[in-house]
Structure 1
Amino acid sequence: MDFEEQHPSTRRTYLKSGAALVTGGLLAGCTGQDTDGETTAASTTESSSSSTPEQTTESTPADESYTVSMAPMGEISFDSVPETIFTRLTHHAGMAFALGHGDAVNSMHAPDYYDALWNQFTPRLDGVSLDWSGLYSSWEPSKERLYELDSDVHLADPASVAALGSWDEADLEEIEDTVSPWFGNTFSDRNRSPPTEWADRYEHYGLWEIFAKVAAVLQEEAKYESLASIREEMLQSISSKLPPADERPTVVMLASRDYETIYAYNLNTPGFLTAHTRPLGAQGALGDDVESGATIDFETLLEADPDVILSLGGMHPTTDMGKIRQTLTDHPVASEVSAVKNGRIYAQAARYQGPILNLFQTEMTAKQLYPDIFGPWPTYESGPYPEIPAEEQLFDRQRVADIING
């Protein structure tokens, strides 16, 4: 007996039209990837608007189905709100969490790592909890496991699954037809090009534009609107206080386990990975034409001589920021960098951040870059997101917690 015979169709009632997968013709693709699944391309920029992108919702007393559209899937109709959610990357999982559906997530990439990281922020949100530990680690999911999970929706970009190279057209269509639809967008991370077979139906979105569409899937549009309003208020306040461009600091974002190999990331290029740094308008010390994720050495860092170093992953509980600072201070070349000499080495969290981390990371980065304007960022070595005096907070934690908790 083959696998499909052991697992008869469990298809939810949903409709496909427009650019949906089966009509679009799925073909497997392959692209050079690192752990973020990176390739390069260019297109649109992150939207700062809090308005909901256009989507179709249909509901009648006799038919409670509703339809949501997003590239590359096209229009997908659901007959009820999904109760179990498959995800791969944490921007999608973070969206479910922000809408009060964090417990519905049954899978994600590196769940224990991201559970620990997200829970560095939940202590600042009264009554909000999260437990992603022990979930299925879904970076390269197996078809068999997706049958076992039997999720009501796959919040994952089918084009990014195709890019893994282990899924073909038939596999993607089979899961869509017999389990539940795909609904996600990943190549908007840096506005990259999807596999060639997907290019004619792909579109790039900002982080909060994707969030609005996920909110429509989960029928939580009011929560989205409330959170987007908080973000918009914060961005407007920040924008009104930023110094002239030539008075802003030069900054580099780095990631390294031991500072033997150093990865550098852009701050101002298009895509949702920079949704918390781009609004702050700092000058990229290495220039934004340097490929994000490129390796550099200390000589290159000294030549760029940034005013500020942002240490990606520094908020994770397994990272020792004190040790990172000491490593740079003790190095004969790195110690000459302005950011090191002036003690301006700060922790960051994650780039695939989701809306709640986006709020926190926008606030923390504003304080790290412009302490004289937005209040200082506390010296941080470990532990949860620091307590910030209420008068120095850039957004209201209680409002956010109340929205998540409904």
Structure 2
Amino acid sequence: MAPNPDDQTDTTRRRYLASAGALAGSALLAGCQSGSDTTTSSTDATTEATTDATTQATTDESGPYSVSMAPVGDVEFEEPPSNVMVYSLLYADMAVAYGYGDAVNSLGFSTNAAGSLHAYYDQLDGVSFDQSGLTQLNQGGSGITVDKEVFYDLNSDLHLIDPALVVSFDGWDIGDVEEIRDNVAPWFGNVLSRRNTEPPEAYADSYEYYTLWEIAETVSQVFQAQERYDALAAIHDDMLATIQSGLPPESERPTVASVIFIDGTFYPSKFNADGFAHAHTRPMQAPGAFTESDVSYQSAYDYETMLEVDPDVIINRYSYSYYDIASVRQSLEENEVGSRLTAVQNDRVYAGGNPLQGPVMNLFQLEMTAKQLYPEQFGEWPGYDGGPYPEIPEDEQLFDRDEVAAIMTGEF
């Protein structure tokens, strides 16, 4: 039984006034493959048209400020939150980038998920994320199991979580989401933009899709760290321009299979789809190895089927947190069919990034993917067998580590 909501009200409202946003449900699956591959078309024009209306913050140095993002709408703050519940890794990355890593009190899954952050932050002097003491929200099961009691126990200032995800938790409904919003703290987050997944009917008129960097900009307003965002976004834009201007002709680009390999089975993903999950691969403009009809949430390929596809490059997603890329390579090389794959024979099986990427993760993952696919244009990828992101000679880096570290530590 949850604590008496009346006991929580004064504490919660000592800092925040939250407007009543539109709340509804979503059948969003748990785990590293959470979300559907069903996509809803979202053009750049639509995104640009909605950005001004959905990411503006009104601030006053002596008073409250308001930040807005679908699906919750406007949320009013008196000051940046100092105790923040986080479910998805991208929001932890944003909190650290904006100087509020110590405010994070939780992650959705095992704190091993933070391995992606550590792998990249190890290359940034003075940047770290302390995962000790974080509460693991999901307690397992066939779906997402999160005890409502934990929301009261953590008594967060802000739930940096999409309520459309929360209503998909086992045993949760709209009433539960509204209860936590009213009695503990507001919700603020958007995860269906991961793959531009079609929203449930109740969200059809209110849900909007954002790019990774649009979400990052909005969250920077929550933490009143717009200058840090602007500095990071400038680095991102410069690197993106460098990559796109240096791409080889289309005829020279390799076919790429984006997969998760587990126990002899390949679970494929689209390479150039919409959504922030592909923010590090889509700019490479390389042809995906799988046809549109061959990829769904239920898709699974055995060795023989993969050999029929026979991609030039295989990228194994989540290899900086969950999957040991050295073991993946060994399994492929030792299998009679797997060893015949072109990517295996040419030593082009690579560790892929984390689709739940924040802005800093995205910088590393863009550089990594560019080097893996186009070594002649962007320099050789040094390889990766686990641990921190590999050392790359300074003159071959696609962005300045010291500059990023200075932004994240507030010394820029």
Normalised TM-score (structure 1): 0.91
The alpha-carbon distance between structure 1 residues 205 and 60, as it changes in their structure 2 partners (threshold 3 A), is closer
Distance 1:272 1:290, change over 3 A: farther
In the alignment, structure 1 residue 74 sits paired with structure 2 residue 62: no
| Post-superposition offset of 1:129 | 1.2
Report how far residue 16 of structure 1 moved: 4.2
Within a 5 Å distance, the mapping from 1:199-238 to structure 2 comes to 199-238=204-243
Distance 1:46 1:371, change over 3 A: farther
1:76-106 per-position Cα deviation (integer Å, ceiling 9, x unaligned):
1111110111111111111112212112110
Q: Secondary structure at the match of 1:77?
A: strand
* CA displacement at 1:371 relative to structure 2: 0.5
The C-alpha deviation readout for 1:202-246, integer Å capped at 9, x for no partner, is: 001111111111000110000000000000000000000101222
Counterpart of 1:57 in structure 2 is 57
Amino acid at match of 1:389: P
Alignment check: 8 A CA contact 2:383 2:390 kept: no
CA positional deviation for 1:185: 0.1
Amino acid at match of 1:157: D
Q: CA deviation at 1:382?
A: 2.3
CA drift of 1:170 comes to: 2.0
1:44 to 42, 45, 48: 42
Q: Assess, with a 3 A threshold, how the Cα gap between structure 1 residues 114 and 45 changes in structure 2: closer, same or farther.
A: farther
What does 1:204-283 align with in structure 2 at a 5 Å threshold? 204-258=209-263, 260-283=264-287
Partner of 2:131: 132
Distance 2:108 2:57 in 1: 30
RMSD of the alignment, in Å?
2.3
Question: Distance in 2 between the 1:36 and 1:6 partners?
Answer: 38
Distance, in Å, in 2 between the alignment partners of 1:232 and 1:2 is 47
Equivalent AA in structure 2 for residue 257 of structure 1: I
Distance 2:33 2:332 in 1: 26
Q: How many residues align?
A: 396
What are the within-5 Å matches in structure 2 for residues 7-406 of structure 1? 7-9=7-9, 10-12=11-13, 13-17=15-19, 20-21=20-21, 24=22, 26-30=23-27, 35-39=32-36, 40-44=38-42, 53-54=51-52, 55-60=55-60, 63-139=62-138, 140-258=145-263, 260-293=264-297, 294-316=299-321, 319-406=323-410
| Runs of 4+ in structure 1 over 6 Å off | none
Over residues 278-320 of structure 1, what are the superposed CA-to-partner deviations in whole Å (9 max), with x where a residue is unaligned? Answer: 001111011244335421111221111111111122233x744
CA contact (8 A) 1:46 1:205 kept: no
Per-residue deviation, 1:53: 4.2
Q: Give the conservation status (yes or no) of the 8 Å contact 1:308–1:345.
A: yes
Q: Which moved more, 1:379-388 or 1:3-12?
A: 3-12
TM-score normalized by the length of structure 2: 0.90
Q: 1:199/1:147 Cα in 2 relative to 1: closer, same or farther (>3 Å)?
A: same
Distance in 1 (CA, whole Å) between partners of 2:106 and 2:228 is 23
* SS of residue paired to 1:86: strand
* Structure 2 unmatched ranges of 5 or more: 139-144
Task: Tell me how far 1:152 sits from its aligned partner.
Answer: 1.0
Q: Structure 1, unaligned stretches of length 5 or more? A: none
Distance 2:28 2:102 in 1: 32
In 2, Cα distance between equivalents of 1:32 and 1:356: 26
Deviations 1:153-195 (A, max 9, x none): 1110001111225222221112111211100000011000122
Q: Which amino acid aligns with 1:310?
A: I
Mapped to 1, the partners of 2:398 and 2:119 lie a distance apart of 18
| Conservation of the 8 A alpha-carbon contact between 2:68 and 2:218 | yes
Taking a change above 3 Å as real, the CA distance of residues 45 and 208 of structure 1, as seen in their structure-2 partners, is: farther
What is the CA–CA distance in structure 1 between the aligned matches of 2:81 and 2:362, rounded to whole Å? Answer: 24
| Worse-matched range after superposition: 366-375 or 101-110 | 101-110
Q: Note the C-alpha offset of 1:141.
A: 2.9
- CA shift, 1:29, in A, is 4.7
| Deviation sequence 1:96-124 (CA, Å, 0-9, x none) | 12212112110112242122332111111
Aligned counterparts of 1:6 and 1:186: Cα–Cα separation in 2: 30
Separation (CA, whole Å) in 2 of partners of 1:29 and 1:308: 34
Distance change >3 Å, CA 45–CA 256, structure 1 → 2: farther
Question: Do the aligned partners of residues 300 and 177 (structure 1) sit closer, same or farther apart at CA in structure 2, a change above 3 Å counting?
Answer: same
Q: CA deviation at 1:262?
A: 2.1
Counterpart CA distance in 2 for 1:84 and 1:175 is 15
8 A Cα contact 2:2 2:148, kept in partner: no
When residues 292 and 222 of structure 1 are mapped into structure 2, their CA distance, relative to the original with a 3 A threshold, is: farther
Of all paired residues, the percent bearing the same amino acid is 44
Give the match's secondary structure for 1:151. Answer: coil
Aligned partners of 2:117, 2:154: CA distance in 1, in Å?
Answer: 23
How far, CA to CA, are the matches of 2:64 and 2:301 in structure 1? 52
In 2 relative to 1, CA 114–35 (structure 1 residues): closer, same or farther, beyond 3 Å? closer
2:24–2:163 contact (8 Å) kept in structure 1: no
SS of the residue 2:166 aligns to: helix
AA partner of residue 240 (structure 2): L
